[in-house]
Amino acid sequence: MACKRFEVSITTNSSGDGTGYTPVFSGRISQIRYVKPGSGGYSDGVDFTITLEATGETVWAEDNVNASATRAPRQATHSTAGVAALYAGSGTAVNDKIVAAADRVKIVVAAGGSVLTGTFHVMVE
């Protein structure tokens, strides 16, 4: 299975906000890695809202991030009747990777501090 990595660097404006995008792609999102540089990186407590641009589906939303972090976002699955798929007996949700079809990932940064930078690596299968 071929994998792709899209690197998106975002510099915040004077209000501490910024937005960046991956190129358009189709595939399953395996993980997203936020890398905080040793100097000039976002302030502690930065907030991320990461979605698919065309559908608005949430991929990763987290507030008050202080350090580099890796997330492997998953979504709940459902039966053909629209009922949540659960592991037998335990009632635990069955999750699967989020799929993008001719879409791009939109990364919105808030409360990142004035004119600071961070980089996001989006891994896609």
Q: How confident is the model at residue 112 (pLDDT cuts 50, 70, 90)?
A: very high
**pLDDT score of 58 more than 70:** yes
Please report which confidence band the pLDDT of residue 1 belongs to, taking 50, 70 and 90 as the band edges: low
Indicate whether 63 pLDDT > 70: yes
User: Are the C-beta atoms of 77 and 28 separated by less than 8 Å?
Assistant: no
User: Is the distance from CB of 24 to CB of 104 less than 8 angstroms?
Assistant: yes
Q: Which CATH number fits domain 4-124: 2.60.120.380, 3.30.70.2860, 3.40.50.170, 3.30.70.270?
A: 2.60.120.380
Q: What are phi and psi of 82, to 5 degrees?
A: 85, 15
Q: Where are the domains of the chain?
A: 4-124
Compute the mean pLDDT over every residue in the chain, rounded to the nearest whole number. Answer: 95
